[in-house]
Amino acid sequence: MWTASSFVVASMIGTGVFTSLGFQLNDIQSVFPLIMLWIVGGIVALCGALSYSELGAALPRSGGEYHLLSRIIHPAIGFAGGFVSATVGFSAPAVLAAMALGKYLTAVFPAFDPMWVAFIMILSFHLLHTFSLKWGTFFQGWSTAVKVGLIFVFIIAGLMVTDNQVISVFPKPGDMKLMMSSGFAVSLVWVYYAYSGWNSTVYFVGEVQNPQKDLPRSLLMGTSFVMVLYVLLNYVFLYTTPMAEMAGQVEVGYISGIKVFGETGAGIIGLGISILLLSTVSSYVFIGPRIMETMGEDHSYISVLAKHNKQGIPAYAFLLQLVICLIFIFTSSFEQVLMYTGIALIITNSATVIAVFVLRKREPDLLRPYSVWGYPWTPTVFLLVNVWILFYTFKEQPLESIIGVSLFLASIALYYLGKKFENNGNI
């Protein structure tokens, strides 16, 4: 359970929380709505975690959305969910974390090139997780512990700063209007990305020793813990640093670190954030190929993805993920990757939460070791907030929204194309 929880925490705490605030400040300049972004995002993530826990405990097989949607709704929808999860769901966030790591490291060592730092990190972790399960999980556990420790140091030191900004977490006139605006909804895409990873255990539940109990525990413990850290961390950013200095910037942790620790100390914190991002890159690299492996087991035309090396690791799935990651690194900007990643994940996650209602209707007598708390309101809240985000995202960011939807639809088309070849005996 603790290893599974560490993957949830490691997957969630990474690029998003150390980069999102700078972009949110472009639309929102008030403390209460900014803090509420992270509270609303945390509540939505908890609703999603509770919903996924019911499905994962009842149908414990690795593969995440691919397995659940294929089993409950339709294999084509499952294939699309799996394809999106394996590509933009894990490959893209791994690249984003590596890009952010490169930017933080460059802030400390200007001679470094962020793109090549990202390349080296992605390549290194693919090699580690492809050839050693033991050392991969060992690194994951300890790097997550170091990550959480560094964040606590940053929070405590930030709260002790005397030359702080005069801010209030209480609402002021106009804040509620801001929270209902398109800017707030679009900013939630950034928050949604920062919370992505709350469902991590579902992707490798087949390797969890006691999935019926440990899956829900790991998701709920990990998500709740991260929500508290996120709220505190963003409060510290706003408490220590003028909003104008962070607006539009990626490395807000480093900028805030200068205010908390001075130039020299900020360099150490920038290096520390780079180290904690290693854990995030590692967790995404580890999980993504498990989805491809499960898909390869079910479809002969991609069966090569299910083949294991001598260590029992799906090496070809890791190789495919590496190729996808390298394409992202050398072709896309940070903001572009993040936006269409967030949109595609919202669509996939929403389809999976809808599956909670479908499964209850179709198989009411199915053994459910865990039943979602607050049903039907818990999954309903998750879906309503996601629909609200998507509405304003399509309105404000039409190109990225179309790309996100197109990825899902193209995956469905790819499923039927593959089945056609499979049925004709060509593959």
Task: Report pLDDT digits (tens) over 270-304.
Answer: 777 777 777 778 777 877 787 888 888 888 888 88
CATH architecture assignment, domain 2-422: Up-down Bundle (1.20)
CB-count exposure of residue 47 (10 Å: 0-12, 13-18, 19+)? buried
Supply the pLDDT for residue 201.
Answer: 66
Residues in contact with 13: Cβ distance below 8 Å, sequence separation at least 6, in sequence order: 147, 148, 151, 226, 229, 276, 279, 280
Under the banding of pLDDT at 50, 70 and 90, the label for residue 264 is confident
Question: pLDDT tens for residues 148-190?
Answer: 787 888 889 888 888 888 888 888 888 888 888 888 887 887 7
More confident position, 310 or 135:
310
Residue 140 has pLDDT above 60, yes or no: no
Supply the pLDDT for residue 28.
Answer: 84
Could you tell me the residue ranges of all domains in the chain? 2-422
Residue 342 has pLDDT above 80, yes or no: no
SS3 27: coil
Question: pLDDT tens for residues 213-259?
Answer: 777 777 788 888 888 989 999 999 999 888 888 887 777 878 888 88
Supply the pLDDT for residue 134.
Answer: 63
Task: Output the pTM of the full model.
Answer: 0.76
Share of the chain above pLDDT 70, in %: 88
Task: Kindly report the average pLDDT of the chain as a whole number.
Answer: 81
Q: Buried (b) or exposed (e) across 282-291, using 16+ Cβ within 10 A?
A: bbbbbbbbbb
